[in-house]
Amino acid sequence: MTIKYMEEYRDSDISKTLSERIKNVSRKNIRLMEVCGTHTVSIFRSGIRSILPETLSLLSGPGCPVCVTDQREIDAFIELSRAEDTIITTFGDLMRVPGTISSLQKERANGRDIRIVYSAFDAVETAKKNPDKKIVFLGVGFETTAPTIAASIFTAGQEGVNNFSVYSAHKLVPPALEALMAVDNVKINGFILPGHVSIVIGMNAYEPFFNHHRIPCVVAGFEPVDLLQAMLKLVEQIETGKPALENGYPRAVTQDGNLKARQVMGEVFESVDTAWRGIGVIPKSGLKIKKEYETFDAEKIFSIDVPDSEEPKGCACGEILTGIKIPPDCPLYKKVCTPIDPVGPCMVSTEGTCAAYYKYYDE
């Protein structure tokens, strides 16, 4: 099926045709994981779950950057906000994520200078306007946001903005796929791979993972037709026993990805072992600032004494991120944990699985 125009990716007749093809092909019980949080929201918003056969189950994976940020990192952000003569700059979805004893929103209510920005370059501008303050940008996200944050560090260095720094808590997607394959009690038959991340890293980045596990993988866009096409490709691969790594988003994703973005990311960051909420430490799955740019590394600049971190009691966010549970399985869901008063990050972020279920899922 060839589609040329954007509106066709939202066409209900094309979506119906694809869903019928999935029903006709699907025979086995299949569990597909959408790795990306935006995919989770798009699937719910477009009602895709309601038109899939009973043989096909969808699992939501660790594709929400705020959700997979380790509890200790959240607590470190909160401790940073208490440093004297410091302005914390952050994306808005971090504000309400509960730490062990506080949150950035509570700290701001207590008088800490914490500002929501729309890009790391806004944080650099804040540093220029406040030369007597130390400006820290909280770097959370995947390969999608890491290049622009790397570019902000590079720019700050070129322009001599020495009161700007970044706390990097970035995560990398391909190593997480490896970790998911090792999680007990989770059976995944195929992956709907993320679109935005793949634009940056390209199809080649998934080849080591695919060659190792030979599990069906398809990169997908975000419109209903994109997602249904990806699901059809995966079902066909599984039913025929011919796993493949396919690009279902060729209008945006290439084999090599965005070479310029990857170059600037590699200039500033290096991969390190790092902890993911719900999974634990994954080798070479995080990005930290290289020694050449350590004057912009908040972890090196500040002496942060982070208290012992604890996951929220009763919260199943970690198990939800790995597909072991779905939000209604959590004893806190809709009872204690709601978008107004969230217990865990999966209910906070707009890309969080619990928030998506709460908004769209009719039990």
Looking at the structure, tell me whether residues 12 and 83 fall in a common domain. Answer: no
Of 210, 226, 247, the last residue of a domain is 247
Mean pLDDT computed over 72-95:
96
pTM: 0.93
Rounded Cα distance between 202 and 195, Å, is 10
The answer to whether 200 and 187 are in contact (CB under 8 A) is no
Q: With contact defined as beta carbons under 8 Å apart, do 177 and 285 qualify?
A: no
Task: Give the pLDDT confidence score for residue 163 in this predicted structure.
Answer: 98
Shared domain check, 149 and 70 = yes
d(CA 86, CA 37): 32
Would 181 be classed as within a structural domain? no
- Judge whether 39 lies within some domain: yes
Whether 240 and 200 share a structural domain = yes
Alpha-carbon dihedral of residues 261, 266, 270, 271, nearest 10 degrees? 60
Structure tokens of 70?
């380790």
Tens-digit pLDDT profile for residues 167-224: 999 999 999 999 999 988 789 999 999 999 999 999 999 999 999 999 999 999 999 9
Any domain includes 79: yes
Q: Are residues 119 and 154 in the same domain?
A: yes
SS3 content of the chain, % helix, strand, coil (to 5): 45, 15, 40
| One-letter-per-residue 3-state SS of 152-182 | HHHHHHHHCCCCEEEEECEECHHHHHHHHHC
CATH number for 124: 3.40.50.11740
234 domain-assigned:
yes
Which of 205, 160, 224 shows the shortest CA–CA distance to 8? 224
- The packing angle between helices 224-240 and 12-25, to 10°, is 10
Residues 48 and 78 in one domain: no
Residues 155 and 279 in one domain: yes
Q: Which residue in 175, 250, 230 sits closest to 4, CA to CA?
A: 250
Answer yes or no: do 200 and 58 share one domain: yes
Chain centroid, CA 169 distance in Å: 12
Q: Is the pLDDT of residue 1 over 70?
A: no
Task: Give the integer Cα–Cα distance in Å for 232 and 100.
Answer: 42
Number of domains in the chain: 3
Asked whether residue 165 falls in the same domain as residue 20, the answer is: no
Is 180 among the domain residues?
Answer: no
pLDDT (0 to 100) of residue 107: 97
Q: Do the domain assignments include residue 241?
A: yes
235-292 pLDDT tens trace: 999 999 999 999 999 999 999 999 999 999 999 999 999 999 989 999 999 999 999 9
Residue 260 confidence (pLDDT) = 97
Residue 78's domain comprises 66-172+257-301
pLDDT in the model for residue 2? 55
Residue type, 247: N
Do 88 and 117 reside in the same domain of the chain?
A: yes
Q: Within this chain, do residues 70 and 59 fall inside the same structural domain, yes or no? A: no
pLDDT at 3 over 80: no
Same domain, 92 and 71: yes
Confidence bin at 310 (pLDDT 50/70/90): confident
CA distance 151 to 87: 20
Top-confidence range, 1-5, 13-17, 124-128, 341-345: 124-128
What average pLDDT does range 88-104 have in this prediction?
Answer: 95
Q: From CA 64, how far away is CA 142, in angstroms rounded?
A: 9
In the β-sheet with 164-168, what is the strand arrangement from edge to edge?
114-116, 86-90, 134-139, 164-168
Which residues are CB-neighbours of 222 under 8 A, at least 6 positions away? 38, 39, 42, 195
| Residue 177 resides in a domain | no
9 pLDDT more than 90: no
Residue 4 has pLDDT above 80, yes or no: no
User: Which CATH number covers residue 240?
Assistant: 3.40.50.11750
Tokens 């600037």 belong to: 264
Q: Is residue 252 part of a domain?
A: no
pLDDT of residue 305: 84
Question: How far is the C-alpha of 152 from the C-alpha of 189, rounded, in Å?
Answer: 39
| Confidence check: pLDDT of 63 > 80 | yes
What distance in Å separates the CA atoms of residue 24 and residue 34, rounded to the nearest whole number? 22
Same domain, 160 and 89: yes
Taking the C-alpha atoms of residue 191 and residue 174, their distance in angstroms, rounded to an integer, is 12
